[in-house]
Structure formats: structure tokens, C-alpha cells
Structure 1
Amino acid sequence: MVKVLVVDDESLIRNILKDYLSSDESLEVVGEASNGKLAISQARALQPDVILMDMQMPLMDGVEATQYIHHSFPNIRILGLSTFATDRYVVELLRAGASGYLVKDSRPEEITSAIHTVHDGGSVLSPEVTRYVVQGLEQSVPAEISPDEELMSVLTAKEIEVIELLARGLNNKEMAAELFVTESTIKARFVKIMEKMQVRDRVQILVKAIEHNLINLKTW
């Protein structure tokens, strides 16, 4: 059973999300919160597996709450929620430690599937959101910054290659077709990359790779 905490400042949205999640018998909504401060206290008390986190809330927004929870309770996975796919807070939320991002009008099965994905150690970003995130991260990194030589020295050329495909928004199947390898090979490479980069999911691979100038985005 996957324990879920629902965080949104609108009670109507919380009720809709709880109704969606009730359709999946393997999910249990253990609590809810209407702002970031309550989300932190509920995370501490309930120790959910996954938090659905709204971004814009009173008292404390989702970005600040995500950052605190990510550092204090690293085993809790966080999925960001927003009305728009290109919300200006998306990049900040992912930097804060979220494992993915969904729009609130996603289909119920998309939301439940995303919860299972992040609970299993995966990440959730649509190609559209990935492109937006890459652009946002790129704009925030000084143009003159040099690649992180220490990280570059431990990553192989093939590993850099799949990180670049990740930044283009490709999924495992598409990456495998592009590189003429199996999907299991792609998954194995990401496991190695996460170990070397000391991150826990693909979203954080993407964030760290761009912030440390490990991939060349200008050639796309």
C-alpha cells in the first residue's frame, strides 16, 4: 500500500484528488494539507510515501515545503501539481527535490500511475514540461560556467549520451531506438548515472547535468 499526502490550498481540488486516488486500491490517502507549513507537519507525523504538492499556497508555498521535506525526510517522494504545464515555479520545484510534475487536469489514471512511478524510484515529466524545464535551467546557468571536470571524469560517453536524450524528453523506448540498444540497457545506464552523480531519480540527473554544464544543449 502506497501512503499519499494531498497538499492543495483549495478544498475542492483536494477532494477531487482524493476521489481519483480512491479508485486505486493500492493507494491510501493518509492525510491532507492546505499550505506548505501544514504539509511539513503532516509529513513528519504521517510519513507518507508520496506527496502531491501544489505550488502556490498561502503561508508557505510548495517549493519551500518541498525543499524542507526533501532534506528532512529524503525517503518521501514529491510530485508537483499546478494548473499550467509551464508554471514559472516548475524549475524551482524540481531543484528543490521533487521527482516530477503534473498538471491538475491530468486524467485520474495518469495521476495514479505517476504516484506509482515516483514511489518505485522513477520520475515524471512530460516531453512538453521537460523542454520547458531544460530551457529554464539553461537560462539560470551562467554562460561562462565550465563543465564540472570531476563529474565528467566519472561519466562515460555513453552515459552522457543518454543524459542528453533525457533532456530532449525521450522515454526509455525512444532512447533505445535512437541508440540501437535494449530498454534494459538504458535502464542500467541510468542506475549507474544516479550512483555516480549521487542523485535519486532522472529529474535530479537532469537538474544536476544542466547546472554543472555536463551536456551541450546548443547543438539541438
Structure 2
Amino acid sequence: MIRVLLADDEPLIRVGIRTILSSDPGITVVAEAGDGHEAADLAGRQRPDVALLDIQMPGADGFTAIELVHRASPATAVAMLTTFGTDDYVARALDGGANGFLLKAATPRELLTGVRTVAEGGAFLSPKVTRRVITGFRARREARTRPDHERVAALSPRERQVLALLGAGASNAEIARELHLAEDTVKTHVSAVYVRLGVRNRVQAAIIAHDSGLAAER
């Protein structure tokens, strides 16, 4: 069962999202919050698998809440759920450590797929913002292409395999099956790859994998 924390300052929005999530027998909403501070407090107590955070909330907004939730419950994956899919919002969310970015205009199926993907250790972006995100990150990273290649070259052979699979969009469970490893071992390798590359999430790691040609090596 995927346990979800839902944070949005509009009660009617929370009702609608909760209704959609509850339509999947494998997902349950364990807590609801109206601001970022409350979301972090509930994350620390409930330890949800996924925190769905709105961006525009009183007190602590969604960007601040990402850090607060991760601090309170490091194992909780964060996905943003917002009306606004601007380049700046997407970039700030992913830079802050979010693993997903969903629009409130998304279809119910897209929302459920996003929650499941993030819960399984993957990254999910609403299709409407995916191309802009990749283009934006590449443009911002042009000045550091050489350092990225040097960091990739410094990875161990196993870490390079993990990065290649991240570049292919594989979840932790899929990486474990592909490499015949325990899922906990995969999580350790993924964390090590993040640290060595200086990235915060799977989207950033995947872009580096593609830029360095690793994804094509599979």
C-alpha cells in the first residue's frame, strides 16, 4: 500500500485529489495539511511513502516544504502538485529535491501513475512540462559539462551501470532486477551516484547519463 501525505491550502482541492487517489486500491491518503510546516510535522509522524505538495501555500510554501519534509522523513519521496508549470517553478522544485512535478490539470490516470512512479523510486513529470524541463536543465548545465563528465568517469563500474539505468528511466526495483541486486543495495548505489555527481534527484542524474552517453551503452 502506498501511503500519501497531501498538502494544499484549499480544502476543496484536497477533497478532489483524495477522491482520485482513493480510487486506486493500492493508494491511501494517510494525512492532509494546509501549509508546509504542517506537512513536515505530519511527515515526521506518519512517514508517508509520498508527499504531494502544492507550491502556493501560506506559512511555508511548497519549495520550502520539500526541504522540511525531507528533513522530517528522509525516506519520503516528494512530488509537487500545482496549477502553475512555469520553467522557474519546475526548476526550483527539481533543484530542491522533488522527484515529481504534476499539474492539477492532469488526468486522474496521470496523477495515479505519477504517485506510483515516485513511490517506486522513479521520477515523473507531467508530459506538458517534460520537454521544457530537459531543455532548461541542459541550457543551465552547459558551463559545467566538463566537470560532469569528469564525475561520471570517476564512478565505479557498478555506479556507472546504475546511472545508465537511471538514464533509461528505471525505478529502483527495475534496477535491482536488471543487476541482480537487493533493492536496499540499489538505494545505496543511487545515493552514492547522487553525491558523486552533485545532483539532487533522478531527473538531474538521468540528464547527465544521456549527455555522457551512458544511457546509450545499455
Deviation by residue 1:19-45 (Cα, 9 ceiling, x = unmatched): 111212222211111111111111112
Within 2, Cα distance between the matches of 1:143 and 1:20? 42
Within 1, Cα distance between the matches of 2:124 and 2:45? 26
The answer (yes or no) to whether the contact 2:87–2:136 under 8 Å persists in 1 is no
Say what the alpha-carbon RMSD is for the aligned residues.
3.5
Q: 2:190 aligns with which of 170, 188, 194?
A: 194
> 1:60-71 to 2 correspondence within 5 Å?
60-71=60-71
Within 2, Cα distance between the matches of 1:195 and 1:41? 25
User: Which residue does 1:206 correspond to in 2?
Assistant: 203
Question: Cα distance 1:7–1:188, how it changes in 2: closer, same or farther (>3 A)?
Answer: same
SS of corresponding position for 2:147: coil
Q: 1:215 aligns with which of 204, 208, 211?
A: 211
User: Which residue does 1:143 correspond to in 2?
Assistant: 143
**Bigger mean CA offset, 57-66 vs 135-144:** 135-144
- Residue 13 of structure 1: CA displacement? 0.8
Question: Cα distance 1:2–1:127, how it changes in 2: closer, same or farther (>3 A)?
Answer: closer
Deviation by residue 1:79-133 (Cα, 9 ceiling, x = unmatched): 1111133352111111222111111121222212221221122221245423222
SS of corresponding position for 1:81: strand
The answer (yes or no) to whether the contact 2:102–2:111 under 8 Å persists in 1 is yes
Within 1, Cα distance between the matches of 2:125 and 2:44? 27
| Gaps in structure 1 of 5+ consecutive residues | 173-183
The answer (yes or no) to whether the contact 2:54–2:82 under 8 Å persists in 1 is yes
Question: Cα distance 1:75–1:88, how it changes in 2: closer, same or farther (>3 A)?
Answer: same
| Gaps in structure 2 of 5+ consecutive residues | 180-185, 214-218
**TM-score calculated relative to the size of structure 1:** 0.72
When the two structures are aligned, how many residues end up with a matched partner?
197
| Residue identity (%) | 35
The answer (yes or no) to whether the contact 2:163–2:206 under 8 Å persists in 1 is no
